[in-house]
Amino acid sequence: MSAPLLCEGRVVVVTGAGRGLGRAHALAFAAQGARVVVNDLGVGLDGTPDPDSPAARVTEEIRAAGGTAVAHDGDIATTEGAASLVRTALDAYGRLDTLVNNAGFLRDRMLVNLDEDDWDAVLRVHLRGHFLPLRHAAAHWRAETKAGRPPRARVVNTSSGAGLSGSVGQGNYSAAKAGILGLTLVAAAELARYGVQVNAIAPAARTRMTERTFAQTMAAPGSPGAFDAMAPENVSPLVVWLGSAACAGVTGRVFEAEGGRITVMEGWRPGPTADKGARWTPAQAGETVRGLLAEAVRPAAVYGATGGVL
């Protein structure tokens, strides 16, 4: 007897699902019985228009494999685009159970060369592109709860190691991905009353955005070690589980996922502290901070950094 499908009957929206991680997630959800809304605006790596329609292509892949999917090519970083994303799920399937926020692109520059347009564009698609779909999905789930139909809803947001530790040459991207972590924590706290669980992943995989960083690491086909550790499909099983009813009770968490490794990230926690009970002088504050830093755990290195930190 085959194992039951983890997402049978669930309706799942995946943004940025035309390529890379999003495509892998959409295919994996469909393989587990979900009906999938495949969103992708169809733009280049830097967010400029692309005549291709990757959402339609992935939708056809799912259907060819016997799954159920519908395409959505709206801009989810706009109010209308995000609203129409939720409407597409409701019009096509009558419900919405899971939102996977994944869309993004890069415009890398060192800070001294990073102009306002590149800053705004990256924060727009990553951070606003998470907020607006989440806002519209949450409004639907709140209405369902008030109507006596409490959902078992799930949201999976996509951050990055750059959001956790920073990345040289990616000030805009790092700031946006760090913002997504804050948004995840707030959403998990605010939406719990409506039956919504919200988590985030910080994946490492080979996609259009990282293909120069992560080369293919798979051994020769048929060999005992034939495992491509950087394949985006390695991240999707965790995302599917977080997007299913099976993850009941797991919310407000951040997970790193890379190859066959899953790590629970523990975030900011109070470390060494000192309380004088009165105002410090600058010299006293500095001397005290030096002592506290000597006791503290050193932070992870910023990606691409050559120097150390105190």
Alpha helices in the chain (DSSP H): 20-31, 54-64, 79-93, 116-123, 129-146, 161-165, 171-191, 236-242, 282-295
Per-residue model confidence (pLDDT) at position 216: 45
Residue with tokens 């892949």: 61
Catalytic residue among 159, 167, 173, 236: 173
Residue 214: pLDDT band (50, 70, 90) is very low
Distances from the Cα of 37 to the Cαs of 1, 58, 98, 294, in angstroms?
29, 10, 10, 51
Per-residue model confidence (pLDDT) at position 218: 43
Distance from C-alpha of 232 to C-alpha of 238, rounded to nearest angstrom: 12
173 is catalytic: yes
Q: What is the per-residue pLDDT across 105-132, written as a single tens digit (0 to 9) for each?
A: 888 899 999 999 999 999 999 999 999 9
Catalytic residue among 84, 159, 160, 174: 160
Distance from C-alpha of 9 to C-alpha of 84, rounded to nearest angstrom: 21
Residue 128 DSSP label:
I
Q: What is the per-residue pLDDT across 77-100, written as a single tens digit (0 to 9) for each?
A: 999 999 999 999 999 999 999 999
276 is catalytic: no
Spatial CA neighbour of 200 closest among 246, 138, 241, 158:
158
For residue 35, what are its two tokens? 């009906």
Catalytic residue among 84, 93, 167, 177: 177
Residue 12: pLDDT band (50, 70, 90) is very high
Per-residue model confidence (pLDDT) at position 2: 72
Q: What is the per-residue pLDDT across 21-75, written as a single tens digit (0 to 9) for each?
A: 999 999 999 999 999 999 999 765 554 556 567 999 999 999 999 999 999 999 9
Q: What is the per-residue pLDDT across 290-300, written as a single tens digit (0 to 9) for each?
A: 999 999 999 88
Q: What is the per-residue pLDDT across 141-191, written as a single tens digit (0 to 9) for each?
A: 999 999 999 999 999 999 999 999 999 999 999 999 999 999 999 999 999
Is residue 227 pLDDT above 50, yes or no? yes
Per-residue model confidence (pLDDT) at position 222: 47
93 is catalytic: no
Is residue 282 pLDDT above 70, yes or no? yes
Mean pLDDT of the chain: 91
Q: Give me the residues paired with residue 156 across strands.
A: 100, 199
What is the percentage of the chain residues whose pLDDT exceeds 90?
81
